[in-house]
Structure 1
Amino acid sequence: MQVEQQYGRLSQALVSPEGCHLLEAFNPPPVTMGSPAVDVMTDLAKIPAATIGAEATLEEANRSMLARGVRLLVVADDDGRITGLVTTVDIHGEKAMRVAQARQTAYSELRVAEVMVPVEKVEALSFDVVRKATVGNIVATLTADGRAHALVLDRTHGGRQVLLGIFSVTQIARQLGQPIHTYEVAQTFAEIEAVLASA
């Protein structure tokens, strides 16, 4: 039996000649520093996180970021467990170049696992703290830490920790209507040496 016979075709409507508009979900509302922090948080229950596997190449990670319009990818395994984070700074910065030199390999052969920040070294915000915070609190935190992103964690009713949301300096600046001057801190030599030593 063909699908059309089993389910039937839906009637269709024309786009209004007076104009068809985007919903607010695609145009986050303007905010001020005093607005609730949740107004600038990307809610991962509504928008899936941009993820990648640890064995993907840095070039694949870069293409994925460009395609999704993001500067951070969550590194996850096949079970959806987070193993780390990788940013544009990680894949284009000094750490990637040093790892490639130390291993005498081409940049194109490097894997995400070799430059990502392991999950055990990731600092995040609790949603219990975020729900009481303002946009200004988030900006101050990102600026003080020299980071372009902050993760928001919560727990399910079963007690499992989950990644609930992400704050992005780019998104916050867009909603504030003003630039935010915070830059991701370059990896220190000690951190780079630790990465090389663990190889």
Structure 2
Amino acid sequence: MSENYNPMSYAYLESGVTYRRPPQRLPDRVKLTSPATDVMTDLTKVAGMTMGPCAGLDAAHQRMVASGVRLLMVADQQNNILGIITSTDLSGDRPLKYLQEVGGKREDIFIRDIMTPQEKLEVLSIADVERAHVGDVVATMKTVGRQHALVVDTDADGNQVIRGIFSAKQIGMQLGESIDTIEIAKTFAEVVGR
């Protein structure tokens, strides 16, 4: 080894240390006429929050609280999206309905048991989002009765990849008003008349 290099000194990691994550800087205030991308969590700029399907409900809740999010993507070990779980799923009637069907206790429920599975996830195209306004996103979320909307892009091979997430709560904070998107049992296909 060359004599021009000096070894660096080691130190011990202090307790309570966290790690840096790339922040996405969203505008504090937007208007309904602002670009839709101004209210989208862009997963090319900030890491998406995931959990494995065998995590318990309390672990999912703790991850949401610690991360300041209300939606987790449920992914397998290869990062394939299996579904999503929201704070509404955790605190709503899904756990109770599941226990009525199979028995057991709340601690016995995995997030895979109550998540919205991948095949039922409706998504928006990034191409459409890039041409849309905040008002269009709000209207879409109200029409389908959802608190969240996933946005997809395509990778180099033409496969779908989740690019972003809209949150009614986040949009409401940026607009300075509450966005009420009462959850209803409609599918996007029913809304657009397919």
1:135 aligns with 2:134: yes
Determine the structure 2 residue equivalent to 1:151.
150
SS in 2 for 1:101: helix
Name the CA shift for 1:61/1:41 in 2 (closer, same or farther; >3 Å): same
Distance across 2 between alignment mates of 1:49 and 1:105: 32
Aligned residue in 2 for 1:48: 47
How far is the alpha carbon of 1:185 from its aligned partner?
3.4
Please give the per-residue CA displacement for 1:116-154, whole angstroms capped at 9, x wherever unaligned.
Answer: 011000001001111100000000000111111000000
Aligned to 1:6: 7
Pairing of 1:105-124 with structure 2 (within 5 A) = 105-124=104-123
CA contact (8 A) 1:73 1:85 kept: yes
Question: Given residue 109 of structure 1, which amino acid in structure 2 is its aligned partner?
Answer: D
Deviations 1:18-47 (A, max 9, x none): xxxxxx944634110001101110000111
Letter in 1 for 2:182: Y
Letter paired with 2:46:
I
Change over 3 Å in CA distance of 1:26–1:37 after alignment to 2 = closer
Asked if 2 retains the 8 angstrom alpha-carbon contact of 1:37 and 1:131, the reply is: yes
State the 1:186 CA deviation.
Answer: 6.8
One-letter amino acid of the structure 2 residue matched with residue 124 of structure 1: V
Normalised by the length of structure 2, the TM-score is 0.81
In structure 2, stretches of 5+ residues that fail to align are 10-22, 187-194
**Matched pairs, number:** 171
Identity %: 42
Q: Offset at 1:160?
A: 2.1
Runs of 4+ in 1 over 2 A off after TM superposition: 4-8, 24-29, 183-187
Structure 1: state its 5+ residue gaps: 9-23, 188-199
The whole-number CA distance in structure 1 between the counterparts of 2:153 and 2:168 is 21
Which one is further off, 86-95 or 159-168? 86-95
The one-letter code sitting in structure 2 at the alignment partner of 1:88 is S
Cα 1:27–1:46 change in 2 (3 A) is closer
Question: What is the CA–CA distance in structure 2 between the aligned matches of 1:26 and 1:126, rounded to whole Å?
Answer: 22
- The answer to whether the Cα contact below 8 Å between 2:24 and 2:41 also exists between their aligned partners in 1 is no
Contact 2:168 2:179 in 1 (8 A): yes
* Letter of the structure 2 residue corresponding to residue 30 of structure 1: R
Name the stretch that deviates more: 87-96 or 160-169.
87-96
Contact 1:74/1:85 (CA < 8 Å) preserved in 2?
Answer: yes
- The answer (yes or no) to whether the contact 1:52–1:76 under 8 Å persists in 2 is yes
